Chains A and B, each alone.
Chain A
């Protein structure tokens, strides 16, 4: 998976305007070539080790596991990466590719700002020009990350069209790319978009799962029983799941954002409550109305506030290899506080969705069972959001 046209079953593909066909073919050729290139792979591994700080620890959250009274919960600490989230794994890979393709300018879209920061970071390091598109509403929610990107030398462009969030930032980045295809590399931040992005981003992120698999074997002598990760576009989940796909004994659980609750309609859970359609270059589950218009999404977490999801997740859902659940803003917030108080780790609100669902499932499992939860990012960026939500002025 995928097939040569980028299809994961009926999902994925390459649904773009004609002007993007040639650059996507060029990207696919470069990616296919360099994935087999030992020098490229060695440089990527070296950067992950010395620049990102990998491998990230697999941490046994003993106190929290005891409180939950079931499975032993291990946290894959992507929050400890340079820039504070898993996003950097992918932006390093794509920037190395951009450099080999001779592209001097990179663009990116961002929701919570984590991918924007990760893109601005690699652009600074490689001396590339960088422009980040960000929904005007997200800019307000994530002012610290906006400032970080600017410090790193990126130009942050507010997007005021549509719902002024991540999906609109993606539209605007695609418009930039189509206008500047000759010198520009588009660093997509998740496992969505036209082929080859879903497969390429998954491959760059699958270092998460490869490490977790080896670490779990080393620490416990066996594979985990279950993996849990949050799913917006789904890159940290895909990166964790992919190396375990053939391990049928390992349950894969993705957690979407239920916002105010699925029943209210104010959520960001296309796999749980959406239907298949085509957006941003691929066929996948979408939040849409009866006319096929994309509807506004809601989540306390800007990084999960997206109406689509990576096409491989759509496929994993349909074929039953992975299951998907959704947790509300309130549940995610409760998990945010719990982990902070019980383990001394402040998780990102995105990751707090995975933690909230883990807290529901762990007690239903035996004490000798193992659950690995992706702690995809740290929560420093969310402190203002949490304070505001709880009526606290900083």
Chain B
């Protein structure tokens, strides 16, 4: 069975271009705002959506995504409602892959088996839990894989060669290379360093490599697109939602415009 994620990356390979992965925090600023914003991302040209599960203690996130999490939780967002959001999104979009991104505790509190079942039923394609490294994640991985949910894993700039190999063996869907040491939305990415690391990853895995953290502008996106399979943009989009101040139509319009600019830049760069 081909997952939506696999299917999307094989389409990108045929089209000989890098993909654009876009992140939003679910429920920011309200649960109702998210589905229209997700559709706007797709209209702008997003190839895959990462949907953030809000958490009270987002340790790996910078201030922009922290604030998004706080707004979402204040508006009553829960993991269950995140899945309801995906169900609603899937009524109009059966092709765009959706990966849930967040922290382990809400998933652990739900229970691995029943969460994986519910996520699969909702139309989720993959799960990325920032604070769940592969050596602690075997039980959840089994629960996810049994239902065709990919488990996306992170590689960092300071991951050793041995470590990269073991993470690549455990990952499915794609590998997420964190391009800077830091939190989301922090330092700017260094393309030369990314290029060298992605080249190493290519020797270790057949999986597509996405690159994120520190990609904010179309120019940066174009540079990164030249050296990997997909560019991941998060904080810059969450900032657009924040600036729209609760006006969902405005947030959606601005997201679509900004994503279209990113997509044009990514499309212009030849796939690595």
Contacts and interface: CB of A to CB of B under 8 A. Distances in A.
Interface of A: 5, 13-19, 21-23, 161-162, 167-168, 171, 174-175, 178-182, 275, 277-281, 283, 286, 288, 290-295
Contacts of B132: 15
Interface string B133-144: 101100000000
Nearest to B58: A171
Given A15-B104, A22-B158, A279-B105, A293 B59 contact: no
A15 B55 CA distance: 15
A18 B183 contact: no
Interface stretch (B159-167, B189-197, B218-226): B159-167
Interface stretch (B32-40, B107-115, B247-255): B107-115
A292 B78 CA distance: 9
Contact of B108 (A174, A175, A180, A292): A292
Q: Taking each of A18, A171, A288, which has the highest tally of chain B beta carbons within 10 Å of its own beta carbon?
A: A18
Given A14-B133, A178-B183, A277 B109 contact: yes
A14 B135 contact: yes
A167 B66 CA distance: 14
Interface string B55-91: 1111111110010001001000011100000000000
B242 interface: no
Nearest to B60: A17
Q: Taking each of B58, B60, B131, B160, which has the highest tally of chain A beta carbons within 10 Å of its own beta carbon?
A: B131
B106 A293 contact: yes
A17 B130 contact: yes
Contacts of B7: none
B119 interface: no
Nearest to A277: B105
Given A17-B154, A19-B158, 9 more contacts: A15-B133, A19-B182, A21-B156, A161-B63, A161-B70, A162-B70, A292-B79, A293-B55, A293-B106
B107 A19 contact: no
A22 B159 CA distance: 6
A40 B130 CA distance: 36
Contacts of B246: none
A162 B167 CA distance: 32
Contacts of B59: 17, 171, 174-175, 280
B187 interface: yes
25 contacts: A5-B135, A13-B136, A17-B60, A17-B131, A17-B154, A18-B154, A18-B159, A22-B156, A22-B158, A161-B63, A162-B70, A167-B57, A171-B57, A175-B60, A175-B183, A178-B60, A277-B108, A278-B105, A291-B109, A292-B105, A292-B108, A292-B110, A293-B55, A293-B56, A293-B105
B131 A15 contact: yes
A19 B56 contact: no
A178 B178 CA distance: 12
Interface in B112-154: 130-133, 135-136, 153-154
B261 interface: no
Interface of B: 55-63, 66, 70, 73, 78-80, 103-110, 130-133, 135-136, 153-160, 163, 167, 178, 181-183, 186-187
A286 B186 CA distance: 29
A222 B136 CA distance: 43
Contacts of A18: 133, 153-156, 159, 167, 178
Contacts of B104: 15, 278
A174 B61 CA distance: 10
A16 B131 contact: yes
A47 B59 CA distance: 34
Contacts of A277: 105, 108-109
A23 B167 CA distance: 17
Contacts of B167: 18
Contacts of A171: 57-59
Nearest to A161: B66
Nearest to B67: A161
* Nearest 7 interchain pairs by C-beta: A292-B109, A292-B106, A179-B182, A19-B156, A18-B154, A18-B156, A291-B78
B169 to A, nearest CB: 15
A120 B136 CA distance: 34
A116 B44 CA distance: 48
B106 A291 contact: yes
A294 B56 contact: yes
A171 B135 CA distance: 22
B238 to A, nearest CB: 15
